[in-house]
Structure 1
């Protein structure tokens, strides 16, 4: 068997900007990524100990709701009256959300 790689020629396609790609995708009925309008505030790590049963319950809830512990904690703090910008409470910061 030969280990030679095929020699594909370049298509030399122009680079499209996000708006052009979004417009094309919309015309074809393909969902596009939503972009955050406001960047999240810089974050710092705060460590604390919580009872094991609480940590376990929070992890289970985060898994069920496909969110993160950060999201659950920030949502709870906001519901308790702490000032937290809505743009900083992201259900899952690892994956961009898609809109139809």
Structure 2
């Protein structure tokens, strides 16, 4: 994995983890965790750590950055179908994260 790919993956994982931490419901948190598991599965044993300290508490911003980073994974060789499936999972998590 090249450095640019690792940075993009770290960003995606960190922002999804922050969404899981800030989820309004347990079910939404579980769905965000599933997104993380899917990202990890796609990358096998090569994935960077999470860094959620210092990130905004604005869930709309977190979602937008996570979505963008996941989309950018296709530029680093991740199969486009896998990217779309992860984005769909992210959308499903957000749908459960409604007050």
Provide the TM-score with structure 2 as the length reference: 0.28
Q: Which has the larger radius of gyration?
A: 1
Provide the TM-score with structure 1 as the length reference: 0.27
Structure with greater contact order relative to length (CA < 8 Å, sep ≥ 6): 2
Higher helix share: 2
